[in-house]
């Protein structure tokens, strides 16, 4: 996922109403009217949010007779959260290793083995 697309995804996710719309769409496709119902906002306002979500690739829109259905597209959201997961994993693993080092340092107040110990 390139940086521009990622920024679009994060931008789209920065709004609580849009996050709530995505959460609703995990239960299935929905029309604008159905999506407007739980929120105290007008259908045109929901339509604007849907446009942003579609622009970020987070939803696709199809037509069923007269109604337009919004459909959740999982992949961009997965990518965005997966990147964050990797960053988190880098720090989680580092911190687990630091826990181990701190135990070695406390077991050996002179610090000599901790200074030499490169093998975990």
Partner 1 sequence: MSGRTTVTAEPGTTTIEIIREFDAPRDLVFRAHTEPDLLRQWLGPRRYEMRIDRFEARDGGRYRYRHVDPDSGAKYGFRGVFHGDPSPDLWVQTFEFDGWPGHVSMDTLRLEDRGGQTISRTTSAFSSVEDRDGMISSGMEDGLSEGYERLDELLVRLGPIAARS
Which residues lie near partner 1 (CB under 8 A)?
Answer: 1, 3, 6-7, 10-11, 13-14, 16, 19, 22-23, 26, 72, 74, 77-78, 80-103, 105-106, 114-115, 117-118, 120
Min. distance of Cβ 89 from partner 1 in angstroms?
6
Residue placing its CB nearer to partner 1 in the complex, 1 or 54: 1
Residue placing its CB nearer to partner 1 in the complex, 68 or 108: 108
Q: Which of the 8 DSSP states describes residue 58?
A: S
Q: How far apart are CA 105 and CA 6, in angstroms?
A: 41
Min. distance of Cβ 24 from partner 1 in angstroms?
10
Whether the CA torsion 10, 81, 2, 90 is positive or negative: it is positive
Q: Where are the beta strands (DSSP E) in 42-120?
A: 59-64, 67-72
Residue placing its CB nearer to partner 1 in the complex, 65 or 112: 112
Are 30 and 24 contacting, i.e. CB atoms less than 8 angstroms apart?
yes
CA atoms within 13 A on the CB side of 108: 13
Residue placing its CB nearer to partner 1 in the complex, 62 or 106: 106
């Amino acid at each position: 996922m390139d940086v521009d697309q990622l920024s679009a995804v994060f931008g789209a996710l920065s709004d609580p109403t849009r996050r709530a719309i995505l959460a609703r769409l995990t239960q299935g496709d929905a029309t604008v009217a159905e999506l407007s119902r739980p929120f105290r906002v007008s259908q045109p306002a929901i339509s604007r949010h849907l446009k942003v979500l579609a622009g970020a690739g987070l939803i696709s829109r199809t037509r069923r007779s007269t109604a337009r259905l919004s459909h959740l597209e999982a992949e961009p959201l997965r990518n965005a959260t997966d990147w964050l997961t990797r960053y988190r994993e880098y720090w989680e693993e580092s911190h687990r290793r630091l826990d181990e080092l701190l135990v070695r340092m406390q077991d050996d107040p002179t610090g000599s083995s901790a200074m030499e110990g490169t093998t975990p």
